[in-house]
A and B are shown apart, each in its own frame.
Chain A
Amino acid sequence: MSTNAAAAVQIEGLTIAYQAAGGSTLAVRGLSLRVERGETFGLVGESGCGKSTAALALLGYLAPGAHRIAGAVRLQGEDILQASPERLRALRGPGVAMVHQDPVGALNPVLTLGEQLLETLRCHRPQGYAGMRAELLQMLGRVALPEPASFLARYPHQASGGQLQRIAIAMALLARPRVLVLDEPTTGLDVTVEAEVAQLVADLARDFDMAVIYISHNLGLIRRVCGRIGVMYAGELVEQGLAATVFGAPAHPYTMALLACLPHIAPGQPPARLATIAGRVPKLDKEPDGCSYAPRCAFVRDQVCVHSGAIVMAPVAAEHAARCARLGMLHQAAPDHSAVAVDRTVGALRLSLQSVWKRYATAGGLLARLGRQGALATPAAAEVSFDVRAGEIVALVGESGSGKSTLARLVAGLEQVTSGQVLVDAVDVGGLRPRQRSDQQLAAVQLVFQNPDRTLNPSHRVGRILARALRRGGRIDERSMRDRVSALLSQVQLPPETATQWPHALSGGQRQRVAIARALAGKPQLVLADEPVSALDVSVQGAIINLLLDVRDNTGAAILFISHDLALVHAIADRVVVLRRGKVMEAGSRAAVFAPPYHPYTRTLLAAAGAAKDVSHVLEPAPPGLPPGGCLHVDQCRQRIGPICWQQAPPEREVVPGHRITCHRATAELMDVP
């Protein structure tokens, strides 16, 4: 590493503070890092660690209310934060470019994609129109966008998230930047798309000889894509080094704890509780006296870590440094997972779906309906059948559009089935709205939702939210209501004072606990958890998952767990149902689904999670003139047989009792890939 030549990116001691109503907050503290051309550097951290502020600073942008207190951001030696407005405009694009988190929001909704791409070229590398158009199409091909020419005339709302993100990457690359910053570019995209985009970025970094800074909270993805990484906590880097080293032998307690929280898919591993990091990320208004992680650290020693002045980055090995006062004195404690007992008696049948179909009527008014007579909308759920028994955790796995949320709503009664049966304790409630169901039937099934920001009524205090849920059980007087609320709160490990708080004062994890308490108010026998931890940080997820496991253990309730996160499912589920576009592709016990034979779609999902090898296959488009029908996965399937997959719906085969796969291929062919 030549220290004389100016690095592509050099951040030196950057400190940024935000001025807000309540005072100032230090968002970034003393950040220093260096990235060369051709390198991909991963900046990792959870929400509130300051990585987005750092990302924007790389482009010379400070949000309103933010100001730099110290440090510099040097691109090829030049401090971009000191640049004049004209210099800033010259640097943004060819010097440094950014790919934003939400591709839809980052594009102008009234201009075509082609116009927005041309804009960049016209600004930084103008040529004749024909030349620019050719370059556009070439770049769109580079980012693996199918049929690039058709996108030029389209508007942003006419493309999917994955397609828009590829276009955003192309747009950034058109200016031939020396530095590329990606701020959470795959959050909100499907797992399979996520993996493809991440791989794309890694390849492009190499080919275009750029310094790439990849910001994410998804540790698994970072590990596969980045050469060096930095872990941020409370505005500062706590560990830095080669990805392999940091992930393999983490030196800082936060990194260790974070990695321990990640569920892995390791074949043969029994279901276990998840690790978690207690506490919250601090909001600092001045430099702390000692280590910022100390309040949550498992290895803290008062004399060394607290009230000891600033802790500096110290080298651990070549290309590896960490900011810890007790470096070298830590032994890695064995992960504190208490394995869940494997032999549990599974109880009575609580929920049974039998051939459930759900079609939505075509949207639109009278005239629209007249025009579209005859065209059938794709069903949201197609012939879905599975069972859930007391004490069991059944996971519904699928990506967006798989119908998993629809099924949850059908079970809860928020929607009604088009045909088929939803048997709750042997009574068919599929056609009944909640107000038509008996109190017992209502109590039997309760929902926990995904988004902690929307799951609690912001106008009610916690106590009132829980009281309203409890009141369904009949009239309760004030005194016993307070006791019941406190009891519920302690069931989810929240102190009784929480009842007087407003939802916006609670953290995401606390809000989800209240949501679970609200579900528990009805003493449910089945808890429907729809992506309950997807919006939470990794360090907090474990607590909520363990809470659900406690509920299952203490009350014997069954849990229908909906998720797109295979690793999480692998950690806790007993049985797994894989959904694709409303149809069950594979269903069986956890061990059976996570081991071959795999349904082709399951294989793709596992490959995206890094737990299996997928068939490499060039996907040809559908042969023309086909009648509708056939397998619902066929257009993305890498193990297509031929025309039969397009024309005929595949049969559901029982591989072994309890494990079914819906595919035309014989079981032997689904075992392993050549």
Chain B
Amino acid sequence: MTGFLAQRLLQYILTLIAGSFAVFVATEFSPGTVSSKILGPYAVQSQVDSLSARLRLDDPLIERYGRWLTTLAGLTDNPMAAKEVGLGLSDPRGTRYVGNLGFSLMLKEPVIDVLADRIGYTILLTVCSIALIVPIAFGIGVWCGLKAGSLLDRVLSTLMAVLTALPEFAFAVGLTLVFVIWLGWLPGTSMMLPGDKWGMVSQLVMPTAVLVVASATYVARIVRASVVETRKRPFVRAAELKGLPPRVVVVQHVLRNALIAPVTVILLQVNWLLTGVVVVESIFAYPGVGSLLLQAALFGDIYLVQALTLMALTVAVGTQFLGDLCYMALDPRIRVA
């Protein structure tokens, strides 16, 4: 068992390294592009070249990647803050510390500060959403799965099929129409600024609602399919034929088997909630990590994009590892030989 886990961990670390390399290459492969991004669209070619030289951007890619890694690990300085480079960027922590992701070109601050600001909001939204998604999705999914074919199941399944087909922005638009414009019960944007006339809670309602609907319908369908499929397996019939009471058959035999796979799906949703909710954050102007990514990409802020992508990779790999752990805990076929 530990062998299996150790093997997976090694795989994930390799994936992280390979992924970070891919990100680095995608953003920094051309030294000219890097310098012109730093200086902005009005820079003259000579300025671009001299910056490239000072930042040693003409060195081979591998070396630059290595330096980037060591800067992140706190072993070397970030050259951009050096006085001779002349960019006027300063970092209160100094130029060498663990987690030095560089400076945001857009906001002229250390990346790590920018992230720290926004990550809290993203986590808040994620927690609120998951707290609703899990009970709703599992509740509906299990109920429909057990009563598959009944009228209620057919109605709910069709409803879920339509709702999953809705793009998030469409649903957001619809909700906004009803609750903001027609009824005026909720705020149209959720910028989460202190002192806003709308409290934090009511600003959270709309984004959470959109995310919950988008995600819970999808998970519910998967849970339902898993329950329906498990009920057909021979050991469920065997359990019925033993004369066991229905509750035992459902809980111990059907659900104990059917809910294993959906657990990993929930973790995938957590992954998505933490890194991929660009649309919802944009619509409601929610100060999370997703809208930051969009702004950074549009601006051309390579260091912020790098950092956000790295964060996304880590979250992805982390949730996959958590998924493996859960699988091991729930399925003895994987846990013991």
Q: Is A265 an interface residue (CB 8 A)?
A: no
- B6–A175 contact, CB under 8 A? no
Of the listed stretches A86-94, A196-204, A218-226, A386-394, chain B binds A86-94
Give A555-590 as 1s and 0s: 1 = Cβ < 8 Å from B's Cβ atoms.
000000000000000000000000000000000000
How far does the Cβ of B327 sit from chain A's closest Cβ, in whole Å?
11
Q: How near does chain B come to A122, taking the closest CB pair, in angstroms? A: 9
- Known A-B contacts A367-B10, A368-B3; A111 and B238 likewise in contact (beta carbons under 8 Å): no
Determine the residue in chain A with the shortest Cβ distance to B5.
A367
Q: Which residues from 76 to 108 on chain A have a C-beta closer than 8 Å to any C-beta of chain B?
A: 88-94, 97-98, 100, 102, 105-108
Complex Cα distance, B336 from A367, in Å, reads: 17
Alpha-carbon separation in the docked complex, A371 to B241 (Å): 44
Indicate if the CB atoms of B242 and A368 lie closer than 8 Å: no
- A108-B244 in contact (CB<8A): no
A365 within 8 A of B: yes
By a CB distance below 8 angstroms, the chain B residues around A155 are: 332-333, 336
Tell me which of B7, B10, B235, B336 contacts A108 (CB under 8 A).
B235
Choice from A90, A94, A106 contacting B238 with Cβ under 8 Å: A106
- State whether the Cβ of A157 lies closer than 8 Å to any Cβ in chain B: yes
| Chain A residues within 8 Å of B248, by CB | 119, 123
- Complex contacts, B76 vs chain A, CB 8 Å: none
For B235, list chain A residues within 8 Å (CB). 105-109
The residues in A between 165 and 221 inclusive whose CB is less than 8 angstroms from any CB of B are 171, 175
Closest to B337 in A: A158
Cβ of A54 to closest chain B Cβ, rounded Å:
14
B220 to chain A, nearest CB (A): 22
Cα of A59 to Cα of B3 in the assembled complex, Å: 45
Residues of B close to A94: CB separation below 8 A: 243
Cα A564 to Cα B87 in complex, Å, equals 82
User: How many B residues face the partner with a CB closer than 8 A?
Assistant: 28
Q: Does A120 contact B (CB under 8 A)?
A: yes
Residue numbers in A under 8 Å from B234 (CB-CB): 100, 102, 105-106
A431 to B253: give the CA distance in the assembly, Å: 48
Binary A-proximity of B229-264 (CB < 8 A = 1, otherwise 0)? 000011101111111110010001100110010000
Q: A108-B252, A110-B256 are in contact. Are A91 and B3 (CB under 8 A)?
A: no
Task: Establish whether residues B242 and A93, one from each chain, have CB atoms under 8 Å apart when the complex forms.
Answer: yes
Q: Does B330 contact A (CB under 8 A)?
A: yes
Q: Are B239 and A59 in contact, CB atoms less than 8 angstroms apart? A: no
With beta carbons under 8 angstroms apart, the residue of A106, A123, A366, A368 that contacts B243 is A123
Q: Can you list, as one digit per residue, whether each of A112-130 has a CB less than 8 Å from chain B (1) or not (0)?
A: 1000000110011000000
Residue in chain A with minimal CB distance to B4: A368
**Chain B nearest CB, measured from A267 CB (Å):** 42
| Shortest distance from the beta carbon of B329 to any chain A beta carbon, whole Å | 11
Query: CB distance B332 to A367 under 8 Å?
Result: no
Q: Out of B7, B240, B242, B333, which one reaches A157, CB within 8 Å?
A: B333
Contacts of B237 in A (CB 8 A): 61
Option from A61, A106, A111, A368 in Cβ contact (under 8 Å) with B252: A111
Smallest CB–CB gap between B250 and chain A, Å?
A: 13
Residue on B nearest A99 in the bound complex, by CB? B238
Encode contact with B along A630-655: 1 for CB under 8 Å, 0 otherwise. Answer: 00000000000000000000000000
Contact B244 A119, beta carbon cutoff 8 Å: yes
Asked whether B332 lies within 8 Å of A109 as measured between CB atoms, the reply is yes
Q: Which residues of A contact B253 (CB under 8 A)?
A: 108, 111
Q: Once the chains bind, are B243 and A105 in contact (CB under 8 Å)? A: no
**Complex contacts, B252 vs chain A, CB 8 Å:** 108, 111, 119
CB distance from B15 to the nearest CB of A (A): 15
- Inter-chain CA distance A529–B120, complex, in Å, is 67
C-alpha spacing A97/B243, complex, angstroms: 9
B336 in contact with A123 (CB, 8 Å): no
Name A101's closest neighbour in chain B (CB-CB). B234
Contacts of B240 in A (CB 8 A): 61, 92
The residue among B233, B234, B331 with the most chain A CB atoms within 10 A of its own CB is B234
A89 touching B10, Cβ below 8 Å: no
- How many angstroms from the CA of A396 to the CA of B10 in the assembled complex? 45
How many angstroms from the CA of A89 to the CA of B249 in the assembled complex? Answer: 12
Distance between A109 CB and nearest chain B CB, rounded to angstroms: 6
Known: A109-B332, A111-B256. A61 touches B241 (CB 8 A): yes
Whole-angstrom distance between the alpha carbons of A89 and B260 in the complex? Answer: 28
Task: Looking at the assembled complex, report how far the CB atom of B198 sits from the nearest CB atom of chain A, in whole angstroms.
Answer: 48
Give chain A residues whose Cβ lies under 8 Å from the Cβ of B260: 110
Q: Which residue of B lies closest to A105 (CB)?
A: B234
Question: A173 CB to closest chain B CB, in angstroms?
Answer: 12
Give bound CA distance, A120 to B253, whole Å: 13
Bound CA span A106–B241, Å: 11
B257 and chain A: residue at smallest CB distance: A110
CB–CB B256/A89 < 8 A: no
Residue of B nearest to A100 (CB): B238
Alpha-carbon distance between A366 and B14 when the two chains are bound, in angstroms: 14
Interface flags, B40-82, vs A, CB<8A=1, else 0: 0000000000000000000000000000000000000000000
The answer to whether B243 touches A93, judged by C-beta atoms less than 8 angstroms apart, is yes
Q: Given A100-B238, A102-B234, A109-B332, do A123 and B7 touch, yes or no (CB 8 Å)?
A: no
Q: Using Cβ atoms and an 8 Å threshold, which residues of chain B touch A112?
A: 332
A395 to chain B, nearest CB (A): 34
Smallest CB–CB gap between A582 and chain B, Å?
A: 22
Name the B residues within 8 Å of A91 (CB-CB).
243
Contact B233 A124 (CB under 8 A): no
* Chain A min CB distance to B145 (Å): 16
Q: Considering only CB atoms, which chain A residue lies closest to B6 in the complex?
A: A367
- Give the distance to chain B from A646, nearest Cβ to Cβ, in Å: 25
Residues on B with C-beta less than 8 A from A90 are: 243
With A100-B234, A108-B252 known to touch, is A89 a contact of B332 (CB < 8 Å)?
Answer: no
In whole angstroms, what is the CA distance A124 to B10 when docked? 49
Pick the contact of B7: A89, A120, A368 (CB < 8 A): A368
In the assembled complex, the CB of A649 is this many whole angstroms from the nearest CB of chain B, namely 28
Interface 1/0 per residue, B195-239 and A, CB below 8 Å: 000000000000000000000000000000000000001110111
B241 near A110: Cβ-Cβ < 8 Å: no
Contact B242 A92 (CB under 8 A): yes
* B336 neighbours in A (Cβ, 8 Å): 155, 158
Q: List 30 A-B contacts (CB under 8 A).
A: A61-B237, A89-B243, A89-B244, A90-B243, A92-B243, A102-B234, A105-B233, A106-B238, A107-B238, A108-B257, A109-B257, A109-B332, A110-B256, A110-B257, A110-B331, A110-B333, A111-B252, A111-B253, A112-B332, A119-B248, A120-B242, A123-B248, A157-B332, A157-B333, A158-B337, A175-B243, A366-B7, A367-B3, A367-B6, A371-B3
Ordered nearest first, which 6 A-B pairs have the shortest CB separation? A92-B243, A93-B243, A106-B238, A105-B234, A155-B332, A89-B243
A residues adjacent to B (C-beta < 8 A): 59, 61, 88-94, 97-98, 100, 102, 105-112, 119-120, 123-124, 155, 157-158, 171, 175, 364-368, 371
The interface of chain B, by Cβ under 8 A from chain A, is 3, 6-7, 10, 233-235, 237-245, 248, 252-253, 256-257, 260, 330-333, 336-337
